Amino acid sequence: MRYLLLIIIVWIPFFGDELLTNGGFEEPITVGWSRLQYGANVIFDRSTGHHPDPDYEIYIYKGDGGGYAKLYQTVDIPSTNLNFRSQLRFITYATGGTAWAGGALILSYLNSSNVVLGETRICNKTTYCPWKNSSTIHLIIAPTGTWNLYEFNINDELENLPGVNPSQVKKMRVAIFDTIYDC
């Protein structure tokens, strides 16, 4: 059996003035970003060759074998009246039985103690992936294989999360995440 998940992020200029450190990946991913991975067959690749533009992108791949790959950073935010913008491309598939794959750009909304209050996941997932909408998780399903631009105001997005009190959101974590299961 073969499982593949690919996520490519072009840039994440947050809120006009970029609040993320190295959000455009112009410096090595060790600048501003933390990496987590579990399992084998994981690739983190920063280059200019993943998108037709000349800028840097990040490519994250999790192949055969269960586990995940995650690149993330947490930032203090001045308010939730912020604009988010990112361009994404997903290639997601899983073969065999109840195996599944899922990839997402995850915006986690945290309180001042770093407790996650809720999440927005711009994602692509295969059939058996258990991710679903709830009062604290909003899925924005992205198509497979094409580049898409996502732009929205965080205040507006929080309206999709009735279980999150916007006045408690003091930080955000941006994560590029992919995972596979049952191989």
pLDDT of 14 strictly over 70: no
- Looking at residue 26, what is its pLDDT? 85
The whole-angstrom distance between residue 37's C-alpha and the CA centroid of its chain comes to 14
Spatial distance between the Cα atoms of 12 and 90, rounded to a whole number of angstroms: 15
In the predicted model, what is the mean pLDDT of residues 27-35?
A: 93
At 142, list the tokens: 């992205």
- Looking at residue 60, what is its pLDDT? 87
Domain coordinates of the chain in residue numbers? 3-181
Of residues 75 and 12, more confidence is placed in 75
Spatial distance between the Cα atoms of 100 and 90, rounded to a whole number of angstroms: 15
Neighbouring-strand partners of residue 38? 68
- Looking at residue 7, what is its pLDDT? 54
pLDDT of 177 strictly over 70: yes
Looking at the domain that runs over 3-181, which CATH code has it been given? 2.60.120
Element (H, E) at 177: strand 171-181
Residues 154 and 161: beta-carbon distance below 8 Å = no
- Looking at residue 59, what is its pLDDT? 85
For 116-151, how does the pLDDT look when each residue is reduced to its tens digit (9 = 90+)?
999 999 999 999 999 999 999 999 999 998 889 999
Residue whose token pair is 């067959």: 41
